[in-house]
């Protein structure tokens, strides 16, 4: 075992809900780490399975395992509640390593991720799934260059939380958190040797629901920050306009200039090849058929995201009747 006292106490924060089977594998991989100076805190989001029974079993077997049940809803509030728990019960903590119950960690994961001296350090996410849809999402967790920092695999200096917290949102709280840290010139780094194996959505129905929750998280963020929604909305509008214009032009060429189809398809074929080849580094057992999933999944993701944001934005615009009622109320107050 590695002597890790010089790194200071590390807390591994795990978000969990109805993941008993995966949670067991997650905890086993953590408790067998080469790094030793750490404790695990699991925040349970109100599981209906036997997760709490399993957590009780592990906490009795190993004093490094702690757990509590989340009081509010959403991953943003779950993180904040966990930070509160750590500050009150484990004040010697210097870093929090965030993870999910579905993650399985390489034996040297903690040793590697805490070795970097930055406010936030991200690790490498390996998608562990045989489903092409799940494999096609490697870029979401690692970025196109493979150096992205994602909320389910990162190490955060506890001092960052003296000033910054997570927004109260169902999803996307880590995106907002990172955005604010970058604006204030905090140092974010990446450790390619800190490897964890992750699960993600495997069916198109779950994928659409997952994307819609992300859009609702962005909407909640916008409601808490003035001037955010319009630039965000315009960004996704522009992307969708370009994307669907390209698709419509394809059908136009089929009808009018079919001899241009081959060079026209060269770009999406090259992009798919890039995603497939690069993704071999971040997918456990990349399948050949996944090659055909990347662009359709990308288009579906941004289309659903834009549609949901548009729907949420329109729903918040007061109707003429509401405006009239508000105007009558204002007149009554003046009178």
Work out whether strand 188-198 and strand 120-127 pair parallel, antiparallel, or are unpaired: parallel
Q: What is the DSSP string of 167-232?
A: -S-SS-HHHHHHHHHHHTT--EEEEEEEEEEE----SHHHHHHHHHHHHHHHHHHHHHSTT-HHHH
209 pLDDT more than 80? yes
Q: What phi, psi does 3 have (nearest 5°)?
A: -75, 110
In the predicted model, what is the mean pLDDT of residues 295-316?
87
In the predicted model, what is the mean pLDDT of residues 21-33?
95
Q: Which CA distances in Å does 306 have to 204, 211, 240, 272?
A: 17, 10, 8, 22
Q: What is the DSSP string of 173-191?
A: HHHHHHHHHHHTT--EEEE
CA distance 327 to 333: 10
Which residue's entry shows tokens 């757990």? 67
Q: Are 48 and 18 in contact (CB under 8 A)?
A: yes
Q: 138: helix, coil or strand?
A: helix
| Domains of the chain in sequence order | 5-202 (3.90.550.10), 205-321 (no CATH)
More confident residue, 80 or 335: 80
- Mean pLDDT computed over every residue of the chain: 87
Q: Provide the whole-model pTM.
A: 0.85
Q: Which of 204, 236, 190, 192 is nearest to 137 (CA)?
A: 204
CA distance 172 to 100: 14
Query: What per-residue confidence (pLDDT) applies to 316?
Result: 64
Which residue's entry shows tokens 């089977």? 21
Query: What per-residue confidence (pLDDT) applies to 174?
Result: 86
Query: What per-residue confidence (pLDDT) applies to 226?
Result: 67
CA distance 36 to 60: 18
Q: Are 89 and 64 in contact (CB under 8 A)?
A: no
331 pLDDT more than 50? no
Work out whether strand 120-127 and strand 154-157 pair parallel, antiparallel, or are unpaired: antiparallel
83 pLDDT more than 70? yes
pLDDT in tens, 192-201: 999 999 999 9
Q: Which residues have C-beta within 8 Å of that of residue 41, sequence separation ≥ 6?
A: 11, 12, 13, 14, 66, 67, 68, 82, 85, 86, 90
Query: What per-residue confidence (pLDDT) applies to 176?
Result: 83
CA distance 294 to 275: 7
């Amino acid at each position: 075992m590695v002597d890790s006292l010089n790194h200071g106490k590390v807390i591994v924060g795990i978000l969990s809900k109805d993941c008993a089977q995966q949670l067991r594998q997650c905890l086993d991989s953590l408790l067998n780490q080469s790094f030793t100076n750490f404790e695990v805190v699991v925040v349970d989001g109100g599981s209906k399975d036997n997760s709490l029974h399993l957590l009780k079993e592990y906490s009795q077997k190993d004093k490094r395992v702690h757990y509590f049940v989340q009081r509010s809803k959403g991953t943003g509030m779950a993180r904040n509640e966990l930070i509160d728990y750590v500050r009150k019960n484990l004040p010697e903590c210097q870093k929090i390593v965030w993870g999910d119950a579905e993650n399985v960690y390489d034996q040297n994961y903690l040793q590697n991720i805490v070795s970097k001296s930055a406010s936030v350090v991200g690790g490498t996410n390996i998608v562990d799934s045989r489903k092409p849809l799940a494999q096609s999402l490697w870029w979401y967790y690692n970025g196109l260059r493979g150096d992205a920092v994602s909320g389910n695999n990162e190490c955060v200096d506890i001092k960052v939380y003296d000033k910054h917290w997570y927004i109260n949102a169902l999803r996307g709280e880590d995106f907002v958190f990172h955005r604010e840290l970058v604006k204030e010139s905090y140092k974010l780094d990446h450790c390619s040797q800190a490897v964890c194996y992750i699960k993600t959505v495997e069916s198109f129905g779950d994928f659409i629901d997952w994307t819609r929750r992300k859009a609702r998280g962005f909407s909640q963020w916008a409601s808490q920050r003035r001037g955010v929604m319009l630039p965000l909305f315009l960004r996704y509008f522009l992307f969708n306009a370009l994307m669907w214009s390209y698709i419509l032009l394809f059908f136009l060429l089929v009808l009018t200039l079919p001899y241009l189809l081959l060079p026209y398809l060269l770009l999406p074929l090259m992009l798919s090849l890039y995603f497939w080849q690069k993704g071999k580094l971040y997918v456990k057992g990349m399948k050949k058929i996944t090659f055909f999933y990347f662009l359709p999944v990308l288009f579906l993701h941004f289309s659903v995201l834009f549609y949901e944001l548009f729907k949420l934005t329109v729903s918040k615009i007061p109707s003429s009747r509401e405006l009239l009622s508000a105007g009558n109320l204002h007149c009554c107050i003046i009178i």
